[in-house]
Structure 1
Amino acid sequence: MKAIVLAGGSGTRLWPLSRKDYPKQFLKLNGDKSLLRQTVDRLLHFLEPQDILILTCEDYKFHVKAHLNDISGYQLLCEPLARNTGPAIAYGFKYALEHWGISPDEPVLICPSDHLIEPKNVFAQTVEKATKVAQDGFLVTFGITPTRPETGYGYIKQGKVLEESPVFSAYEVARFTEKPDLNTAKKYLEEGGYYWNAGIFLFTPEVFSKELASCAPDIFALYEQDFSSLTANFADMPDISIDYALMEKSSRVAVVPLSLYWNDIGSWDALFDVLNKDSSGNAKTGRVITIDTENSMILGQKRLIATIGLEDHLVVETPDAILIVKKGEAQKVSNLVKQLKSEGYPEALEHVTTYRPWGSYTVLEEGPRYKIKRIVVNPGERLSLQMHYHRSEHWVVVRGTARVQIDDEEYFLHENESVFVPKSTKHRLENPGKIPLEIIEVQNGEYLGEDDIVRFDDVYGRSPNQ
C-alpha cells in the first residue's frame, strides 16, 4: 500500500490564524506538532516513509520539508498549479505509476493533511482491512460514524452490504448528500446508515483509471498522457473536486465506516470542541483574563485579552488582526475573508510573519521609507547571496552567531553586534551555529517591497528575482 497526502490547500475558514501564505495544515492547534506532521505520523503507524507521497504546491514545499525535517525517504511532489482535488489526485497517481513504480493493483490511500484522527491503531487496522475492498474493484471512501446532527459535513448513505462484522464493515454507497439543514441531519441520525464524508479514499490505479475514463473523460484525456506532458498541460485540467468528478458519478463506490474520533478542524467551532477547557467551559491560550465569561474560546498571541460577561463567543488574536465571532457563526469566516480580499486588505492573505526555507521574518513596524523586521535563521541555514537596488539594511544580532558576507568581505557577528549593508551591494546572512540566529533588520530606502531583490546564488534553487 502507498499513501498520497494532499497538502496544497489554502483554506480560509481559520482566518486570521490560517492564511494563504501559511494554511491550516502547518498550524499547531492541539499540541507541539502541526496537523501535517500528525497526519504523517499516523501513516507511519502502518507505512514506511518511502511509501508516502506529499502532494503540495511550490509555495509550500519548504514548509513541508521544515515540518518533516527529521523524516527521510518520503516523496515530495508539487502540483504545477491549483486545480482542486480531482486533478490533484490524478496528478499524484500518474507520478506514482511512472516514478514510484507502483503496480496497477496496489491500493493507494488518499488523505487530507489537516484532520485530527484518533486512535491511530484503529485507523490503521480499518485502512488495512479496506485494501481487499479496493482490490475487489471498488473506489473506497471512508465515512465517520456521526455523533450529532452536524450541518457542516456532507453525508454518505450506505447501501448493499459487502462485508459486515463487529470489527469491520463495508457497503456499497447508495448516495452522497450535500450538507443538510438541521432537521434533515437529525433525521439522518435517527434513521442510521448515514456517515459523515471524511474525504479519505482508497483505490488502485487500475480502478481509478477505469472509473475516471467513464465518469470524468475531460480529466482522463489528460491523465492518459505521460507525466511530463500532463505537467505541461495541467492548466487545462478542470477545477473540480474528486467527489464531483468521480465519487458521486461512479457505480463502483464503497463506504467503510470509521468508528473513531475525527475532526476536520473546518471552523473555529470545530477547534473549540477539541481544546481543553476550564471550569467555566472556556478554552484559553496566551495572556487572557476572564470575568463572568462562559463557554467561549479566547486565543491570544501578543496582547493581553480581557473579557467580561462574554458567553458563547470565539475570540482569536494575531499580531495584525482580531476576530470576534459568535459560536455557531464561524462558517461565515470564509465570507469575511472574501470581503477582505475584495476591499484590498493584505491581512486577508498575508501574515506579519513570513516563512522561508531558511527560517522566517516578522514585520515589527513600517512607515514611509523604513521597515523593521525580526529575522530568524535556523541552524545551518543561509539566505541567498543577493542585492537590493532601493534599500540599505542595518543588522543587529539579538541571539546567536551570524556569518555575514558583504561584497568580498566576511564577518562574524555575535549578540549586540551590528553591520551596515549599503544599497546595490551583494550580501548574504548565514547561521553557522547550533541555535536559531535572531537579528533585527532596519531597512531604509525609497522602495521597500519584497520584490526588490536580485539573487546571485541560492542553495534552495529559487529564481534570481523570486
Structure 2
Amino acid sequence: MYSIILAGGSGSRLWPLSRRKFPKQFLKLTDDETLLQKTVKRNLFFSEKEDIVIVTNQDHSFFVKSQVQTKLGEKVNVLDEPVGKNTAPAIALGIKYIQEKLHGKLNDPVFISPSDHIISPASEFADYVKTAEKFAKNGYIVTFGVVPTKPETGYGYINKGEKIDENCYKVKQFVEKPDLETAKKYLESGNYLWNSGMFMFSIETFIEEIEKYEPKIYDIFTSSFEDMIENFHKMPEISIDYAIMEKSNKVVVIPINITWSDIGSWDSVYEVMPKDENKNVIQGNVVSKNSKNSLIIGSKRLLCTVGVEDLIIADTDDAILIAKKGYSQQVKDIVELLRKEEREEAEVHKTVYRPWGSYTVLDEGVNYKVKKIVVNPGQKLSLQLHYHRAEHWIGLKGTAKVQIGDEFIYLHENEKAYIPKATKHRIENPGKIHFEMIEVQIGEYVGEDDIVRFEDIYGRVK
C-alpha cells in the first residue's frame, strides 16, 4: 500500500510555537518526536518506507527531509510543490510520482493523510486502514470518520448513510463545522462522525474521478511528472474535498473509535496532553502556584503563574500568547493581524532553520544584527555577497573552512574573520561536530533579502 503524507501548513493555529516557516507538524508536543515523525512512524505499520511519499513546499523541504530520514533512512520520497495550490493538486502530484517513479499499478491503493494529527494507538489505527484496503480496491473512495465524544464545533462532520458492509457506510453528506447546538444534535443522533481528513482510493479511481470532476487538473496530470512540475502553477487552487469528495458517488466511510485529534487549536492540545493534580498541562521552564485547568508552556526564560485558571499561556523567545480557554480558535485572527502589519513574529522564530543548519537572532537595531550561527557537519552555505552590510565572525566551537574573496582560511573557536561589503564569501563545516559562531552584521540595511547567491548545493541559485 502506498501512502501520501501532506506536509504543508501555514502555522497559524498554534502560534507562537508554530509559524508560517515552522508549522505545527514540526512541533514536539507529547514527547521527543515531532508530529511529522509520528505520522511517518504510524504509516510504517501498513506501508513500506520506499512507498511513502511526502508532499511539502520548498520552504519546508529540507526540514522535512532531515526529520524523516531518522524514520525512513535515505529512501525518502519528498516532493516539493512548485507553488501552493491546496490539497487536490498536491495529491495529484503524489499520485503521478507513484505511477511514474515508483511504478504503481492502477489497482494499487493509496492512503492519504495530513502530517500533523495525533492518533493512538497506532496499531489499532493500522487495522482500520487495512480494513479499508479491500473497499479501495473495489473502486470506493474510503474516508475515515472518528466516532465523536463530545459536541465539537471545530471539526467538519460526515453523515452516515446506507450500510454496505460490516463497519462501512455510504456517505450521505459532508457537513461544514457546525455551531454548538447543531453539534449537540449530531452527537445525539449517532449518525454523524468527525471528518478526519484521511482517506484511501486506488490510483485508477482517483484518475477516473479527477477526470470527471476536475478536468483542468486531469489535463496536466496526463503529462509526464516533469511536465506536471513545469505546469503546476496552472493548476486550479482547490481542496480534495471540493474537487472530488463532495461530488463523487463512490465515497464511503469507516467509523474509527480511537483517540484522534487534528490539533487544530490550543484547546485541542490541552485535551490530549497529560495533566497534573490541578488539571494543568505544564511544559518548559515554569513555576506555578494555585493555578488550575490551564495550559502553560514555557521557553528559555522563567515563566511563573499564580492563581490563574482556565488560561492558555505559550511563551517563546520573541512572543507570548495569553488566551482564555475556549477562545483559542481566534489565535489565527491574531496571526492575520500580525501578517497585515508585516511582523516577523508571524513568519519565523528567532531561531531559523536552513538546509545547512540554523541561525538565532540574538539582538538587532537600526543598522546592526547579531546572530548565533550553527553549521552542521559536512554542510556549507552558499557562495554569496551582501551589498549593504559587512560581517564580523567569531568562532565559538568546531572548525570552519571560510572563503573570503579568493582567499581561504580556517576558523576555530576564539578566532575571528571579517567580510567586507560586496565581497563573495562562503563558510563550510568539514569536521565531525557542529561549527558554532557569532556573526555581527553592520550596515545601512541588515534585512535577510540582502543576499546574492552565486553557487549553492541546495539549489537556491535561480
Distance of 2:288 and 2:53 partners within structure 1 = 45
Indicate the residue corresponding to 2:48 in structure 1. 48
Indicate the residue corresponding to 1:85 in structure 2. 87
Classify the secondary structure of the residue corresponding to 1:325.
Answer: strand
Indicate the residue corresponding to 2:119 in structure 1. 117
- Report 1:15-164 matches (<5 A): 15-70=15-70, 71-164=73-166
Distance of 2:326 and 2:219 partners within structure 1 = 43
In the TM superposition, what is the alpha-carbon distance from 1:179 to its structure 2 partner? Answer: 1.1
Distance of 1:401 and 1:275 partners within structure 2 = 41
Distance of 1:195 and 1:91 partners within structure 2 = 29
Distance of 2:28 and 2:396 partners within structure 1 = 26
Contact 2:454 / 2:461 at 8 angstroms: preserved in 1?
A: no
Indicate the residue corresponding to 2:292 in structure 1. 294
Q: What TM-score do you get using the length of structure 2 for normalisation? A: 0.95
User: Using a 3 Å threshold, how does the CA distance of structure 1 residues 270 and 453 change in structure 2: closer, same or farther?
Assistant: same
- Report 1:133-212 matches (<5 A): 133-164=135-166, 169-212=167-210
Contact 2:374 / 2:436 at 8 angstroms: preserved in 1?
A: yes
Distance of 1:459 and 1:226 partners within structure 2 = 26
Between 1:228-237 and 1:138-147, the stretch displaced more is 228-237
Flag as ranges the 4+ runs of structure 1 deviating above 4 A.
none
Classify the secondary structure of the residue corresponding to 2:113.
Answer: strand
Q: What TM-score do you get using the length of structure 1 for normalisation? A: 0.95
In the TM superposition, what is the alpha-carbon distance from 1:11 to its structure 2 partner? Answer: 3.6
Deviations 1:222-243 (A, max 9, x none): 3334433433332232222111
Indicate the residue corresponding to 1:409 in structure 2. 407
Distance of 2:91 and 2:162 partners within structure 1 = 27
Between 1:47-56 and 1:177-186, the stretch displaced more is 177-186
Distance of 2:402 and 2:341 partners within structure 1 = 41
- Report 1:307-318 matches (<5 A): 307-318=305-316
Classify the secondary structure of the residue corresponding to 2:60.
Answer: helix
Distance of 1:153 and 1:77 partners within structure 2 = 28
Match of 2:254 among 247, 253, 256: 256
Indicate the residue corresponding to 1:282 in structure 2. 280
Deviations 1:212-268 (A, max 9, x none): 223333433433344334333322322221112211111110101222111111111
Deviations 1:168-211 (A, max 9, x none): x2111111111112222222222213211011110011111212
Distance of 1:194 and 1:278 partners within structure 2 = 33
Instruction: Name the aligned partner's letter for residue 336 of structure 2.
Output: K
Q: How many residue pairs align between the two structures?
A: 460
Indicate the residue corresponding to 1:376 in structure 2. 374
Distance of 1:386 and 1:11 partners within structure 2 = 30
Unaligned runs of 5+ in 2: none
Instruction: Name the aligned partner's letter for residue 127 of structure 2.
Output: Q
Indicate the residue corresponding to 1:363 in structure 2. 361
Distance of 1:268 and 1:158 partners within structure 2 = 29
Classify the secondary structure of the residue corresponding to 2:69.
Answer: coil
Distance of 2:216 and 2:182 partners within structure 1 = 34
Distance of 1:322 and 1:420 partners within structure 2 = 36
Distance of 2:141 and 2:385 partners within structure 1 = 53
Match of 1:445 among 443, 446, 452: 443
Distance of 2:31 and 2:100 partners within structure 1 = 38
Between 1:19-28 and 1:444-453, the stretch displaced more is 444-453
Indicate the residue corresponding to 1:321 in structure 2. 319
Distance of 1:226 and 1:262 partners within structure 2 = 37
User: Using a 3 Å threshold, how does the CA distance of structure 1 residues 298 and 176 change in structure 2: closer, same or farther?
Assistant: same
Instruction: Name the aligned partner's letter for residue 132 of structure 2.
Output: A
| 2:337 equivalent to 1:339 | yes
Q: Percent identity?
A: 54
In the TM superposition, what is the alpha-carbon distance from 1:127 to its structure 2 partner? Answer: 0.9
CA-based RMSD of the aligned residues comes to: 1.7
Classify the secondary structure of the residue corresponding to 1:351.
Answer: coil
Contact 1:49 / 1:72 at 8 angstroms: preserved in 2?
A: no
Contact 2:150 / 2:187 at 8 angstroms: preserved in 1?
A: yes
Contact 2:386 / 2:422 at 8 angstroms: preserved in 1?
A: yes
| 2:210 equivalent to 1:222 | no
In the TM superposition, what is the alpha-carbon distance from 1:45 to its structure 2 partner? Answer: 2.1
Distance of 2:387 and 2:189 partners within structure 1 = 68
